[in-house]
Amino acid sequence: MEFKEVYCANCKKTLGRYNIKFYDDDKISELFKTTHSVHVRQGHEVIIKKIKKN
């Protein structure tokens, strides 16, 4: 399975992992505006990594 991992470089922590089957780019950007907006608003560098897990 493939996941998108949302990681904050400033807080040095993973904010969430999302199965790409259920979370397309639109849904991820939606999360940036809602769930993870605290980091974005503070100007943190939030990055998306693709990870594979079996």
Interface ranges with Zn ion (CB under 5 A): 8, 10-11, 39, 44
Between 10 and 14, whose beta carbon lies closer to Zn ion? 10
- In angstroms, give the least distance from the CB of 26 to Zn ion: 22
How many helices (H) and strands (E) the chain has is answered by 2, 3
In the bound state with Zn ion, the residue whose beta carbon lies nearer, of 17 and 44, is 44
CB of 21 to Zn ion, least distance (A): 26
CA 52 to chain centre: 15
Of 3, 54, 53, 1, give the one whose Cα is nearest residue 28. Answer: 3
